Amino acid sequence: MKSGSTLEKILKAGHFAFTGELGPPRGANIEALKKKAQPLKGMVDSVNITDNQTAVVRMSSWAASMFAISEGLEPNYQMVCRDRNRLAMQSDILGAYAHGVRNILCLSGDHQQFGDHPQSKGVFDIDSMQLLQMVKKMRDDGQFLNGQEIDVPPKLFIGAAANPFAEPFEWRVYRLAKKIKAGADFIQTQCIYNMEKIREWIKRANDMGLTEKVYILAGVTPMKSLGMARYMKAKVPGMDVPDYVIDRLKGVDKKKQADEGIKIACEQIAEFKETKGLAGVHLMAIEWEHRVPEIAERAGMLPRPEV
């Protein structure tokens, strides 16, 4: 065991993993955080705690991870390269580990231009690949990035993101290979809507033997409405929403669109369970935490295995 986290145990035991997501509040509202955490309990193996997602200031992801732990959830501590240099990152990792965090997801981060402080200076001292290398070095070699010894190294289960839909498509599987080499134990993909493309990407990952070296969790975000689908297609960078998803939502009554969105997600999950090379699903039910139990139930993900 690298970290002994629940997520690691689930994956190692060969169970089909199910992870969720929790966005910290835009303030110190612990009650709001607890309320969002409540419905996730027992439904997912680990919960991603986002790090100033979309470059909007929120409660720090390590602090929100502490609350997740106290609420009985296992956090997957997200860390982006936009807001911290290598010193701050390493010290936050030590602190988070000391407080019981066992999973980390290493990301570049959305550009600050999209957020609520567009005039800020983006740090990007290291990139997500180098962050993976750094966390692995801290864990496996017991050393900081500069090679100096760590007094009690953080033993984290290391995650990375992959977007199989962004161009250049040909390169994406090689970039996955780089992330594995850099230190990724598991991968969570961008939200998947284009099923043809994900099948092709996984096939290539299988052919290159990559899926034997890393656990890949397929990213799923149920569409809440036709408006959301249109917005995701038009406005969200790196998102690939094919017309057949839009058409399907268009084809039902407005009141039934959310239900149709969940139905599509459940069909996707059913296929992913049978897909060679996929080890789980990462459910990003954005501001829809209270619907997670229903989605988990309908997708046949319950009960979660005890490990």
Partner 1 sequence: MIVAERKPFDEIKQLIKGYKKVLTVGCGTCVAVCLTGGEKEVGVLNAELKLSQKTEPEQTVFGEATVQRQCDMEFLAELDDMVKDYDALLSMACGAGIQFLAERFPTIPVFPAVNTTFIGVNKDVGWYEERCKACGNCVLGITAGICPVTMCAKSLFNGPCGGTNGESCEINKDQPCAWFMIYERLALQGRLDNIIEICPANDWRNQKPQTLIQPGYEERKASA
SS3 288: coil
Rounded CA-CA distance 291/287 in Å is 9
Is the Cβ of residue 55 or residue 292 nearer to partner 1 in the bound state? 55
Q: Tell whether residue 55 is a contact of partner 1 (CB under 8 A).
A: no
Residues for the chain: how many in total?
307
Rounded CA-CA distance 280/110 in Å is 25
Cis upstream peptide for 39 (omega within 30°): no
Shortest approach of partner 1 to residue 270 CB, angstroms? 25
Among 178, 254, 256, 290, binds partner 1 (CB under 8 A): 178
Among 2, 15, 35, 86, binds partner 1 (CB under 8 A): 86
Footprint of partner 1 on 222-281 (CB under 8 A): 237-238
Q: Tell whether residue 21 is a contact of partner 1 (CB under 8 A).
A: no
Is the Cβ of residue 207 or residue 297 nearer to partner 1 in the bound state? 207
Rounded CA-CA distance 180/275 in Å is 20
- Give the binding range for partner 1 (CB under 8 A) out of 90-98, 151-159, 176-184, 294-302: 176-184
CB 174 within 8 A of CB 130: no
Integer CA distances (angstroms), 212 to 117, 208, 228, in order: 41, 9, 35
Among 65, 128, 188, 221, binds partner 1 (CB under 8 A): 128
Is the Cβ of residue 76 or residue 128 nearer to partner 1 in the bound state? 128
- Give the binding range for partner 1 (CB under 8 A) out of 23-31, 158-166, 244-252, 269-277: 158-166
Nearest partner of 77 among 53, 54, 98, 102, judged by Cα: 102
Amino acid at 30: I
| Sign of the torsion angle spanned by Cα atoms 293, 298, 303, 307 | negative
Footprint of partner 1 on 102-121 (CB under 8 A): 108-111, 113-114
Q: Tell whether residue 52 is a contact of partner 1 (CB under 8 A).
A: no
CB 47 within 8 A of CB 20: yes
Among 26, 181, 254, 256, binds partner 1 (CB under 8 A): 181
Integer CA distances (angstroms), 157 to 71, 162, 173, 220, in order: 21, 17, 21, 21
Q: Tell whether residue 163 is a contact of partner 1 (CB under 8 A).
A: yes
Among 31, 149, 151, 167, binds partner 1 (CB under 8 A): 167
Q: Tell whether residue 124 is a contact of partner 1 (CB under 8 A).
A: yes
Residues contacting residue 253 through CB under 8 Å, at least 6 positions apart: none
Please give the residue ranges that form the binding site for partner 1 (CB under 8 A): 81-82, 86, 108-111, 113-114, 122, 124-130, 133-134, 145, 161-163, 166-168, 171, 174-175, 177-178, 181-182, 190, 237-238
